[in-house]
Amino acid sequence: MSRKPSIGAMSAACHAGIAAFEQSQDNPFFVYDLDSLSEHIASLANDDIKLWFAVKANPLSKVIQTLDQQGMNFDVASLGELEQVLAQGVSAKRVLNTGPAKSIKQIKRFIELGVNTFVVESINQLELINQLSGEFNVTPEILLRVQLRFEQGDNNPLGGNSLTPFGLGSQEWSQIKLADYANVNVIGLHIFQWGNMLDGEKLISLWQAMIAPLTELADSLGFELQVLDLGGGLGIPYAKGDNSLSWHELTSALAQIKRQANLNELWMELGRYAVGEYGCYVSKVVDVKQNYQQSLLVLQGGINHLLRPAITEQPFPVSLLRASNAPAQSFHVHGPLCTSLDKLGELALPSDVCVGDSLVFSQCGAYGFTEAMPFFLCHELPAEVVYQHGEFEVVRPSVPASSYLF
């Protein structure tokens, strides 16, 4: 029997359609299965948790619209993300602003555009937001971002136990007097230090370990901890044998944390877990060679379109777009850049893969297009395509380097 490629949580219908759709594309492209994404987001709805979509994971208009239709709120970390969300018709009242770099200009613009909820990551940010709120005669809701150190925590791209620019330690926050910031309403705390967690028990135990130090901090600052925002960090499987988190188990634990800490609201800002499994990236093979007894493939697109393997050394799952009966063998899969960093992994593919074939990388719905380094070597930008109501639509056509070179 010929092997069927697998594409994460994307539907079989979308997968089947990609082979025909690919014939119309000369350059690499991303596909997002909005029909399945919509069902997934609907399945996350939970009375105990308010969900925000971390827009950095995938700011494509159609993705934002799909999440908006399912009632998600939006966590933005730049003016660009804010304007993109507002352009989709989302109210600024459903936007939360996180991020360690909030310039005066940016805060002003956010307030002017009606954003009323800010995660504050430093004392300077608190002072600025307080001062500008006075000038604009608004009283935004504020969460102070806290950075804790845990015995059971290790290091991680989000910082883990190491020093990061995300928030401040409890000791640093306890130096402030909230009475000095009368133009803002501090309603809660934010904490988020671990990304792509796949061990549900560890994640829950880290969350539980946060409650005591966070409630102590709120007490010492003298405000009622109405809201706790636990950020993102929920992982998706990238490798065979990786665990998949159980949303039911996580939300049961979160509901308990909410009761235990006597919170009015518990928030999460999901990025990867919201959209990661609903996108794939398709790129053609432009060369196949043997070198020092090993097999190499060179693709049209590599880390210029999908940076994650270079940062994490973890490949995306891959399959050959066409069916093949050939036995699997290992290939070193490279992109087109003149750096050995441009490697998408050492991956098993049918041995008959050849020039002109297309490879499909799954789990690429989050941290794909906008996380990459597309300008290096002046290749084409990849297209972004959505699959919705059973049809493919090119939302962003692939463009040549002449469109961005001056």
Binding map of ligand PLP across residues 278-307, x = CB under 6 A, - = no contact:
------------------------------
Question: Which 317-376 positions form the footprint of ligand PLP (CB under 6 A)?
Answer: none
When asked if residue 269 is in the footprint of ligand PLP (CB under 6 A), the reply is: yes
| The binder of ligand PLP chosen from 59, 231, 301, 315 (CB under 6 A) | 231
Structure-token pair, residue 38: 């919509």
Q: Which is nearer to ligand PLP, 120 or 285 (CB)?
A: 120
How many alpha carbons fall within 13 Å on the CB side of residue 280? 30
In whole angstroms, the minimum distance from the beta carbon of 274 to ligand PLP comes to: 7
In whole angstroms, the minimum distance from the beta carbon of 83 to ligand PLP comes to: 19
Measured CA to CA, the distance from residue 396 to residue 394 in angstroms comes to 6
Through-space distance between the first and last CA atoms of the chain, rounded to whole angstroms: 52
When asked if residue 232 is in the footprint of ligand PLP (CB under 6 A), the reply is: yes
**Count, residues in the chain:** 406
Measured CA to CA, the distance from residue 225 to residue 363 in angstroms comes to 36
Instruction: Please give the single-letter amino acid code of residue 279.
Output: G
- Is residue 224 within 8 A of residue 217, CB to CB? The reply is no
Burial of 256 (0-12, 13-18, 19+ CB in 10 A): middle
Return the SS3 of 96: strand
Structure-token pair, residue 400: 């040549």
When asked if residue 273 is in the footprint of ligand PLP (CB under 6 A), the reply is: yes
44 C-beta neighbours (distance < 10 Å), count: 17
Dihedral Cα 95, 96, 99, 105, nearest 10 deg = 60
Q: Which is nearer to ligand PLP, 272 or 308 (CB)?
A: 272
Closest residue by beta carbon to ligand PLP: 232
Specify the stretch interacting with ligand PLP by CB under 6 A; choose among 31-39, 265-273, 372-380, 393-401: 265-273
Binding map of ligand PLP across residues 90-119, x = CB under 6 A, - = no contact:
--------x---------------------
Specify the stretch interacting with ligand PLP by CB under 6 A; choose among 178-186, 214-222, 263-271, 289-297: 263-271
Q: Which is nearer to ligand PLP, 270 or 347 (CB)?
A: 270
| The binder of ligand PLP chosen from 40, 272, 305, 334 (CB under 6 A) | 272
- Is residue 370 within 8 A of residue 347, CB to CB? The reply is no
Measured CA to CA, the distance from residue 357 to residue 144 in angstroms comes to 50
Question: Which 135-194 positions form the footprint of ligand PLP (CB under 6 A)?
Answer: 192
When asked if residue 195 is in the footprint of ligand PLP (CB under 6 A), the reply is: yes
- Bridge partners of 131? none
Specify the stretch interacting with ligand PLP by CB under 6 A; choose among 19-27, 49-57, 246-254, 295-303: 49-57
When asked if residue 200 is in the footprint of ligand PLP (CB under 6 A), the reply is: no
Q: Which residues bind ligand PLP (CB under 6 A)?
A: 54, 56-57, 75, 98, 192, 195, 231-234, 269-273
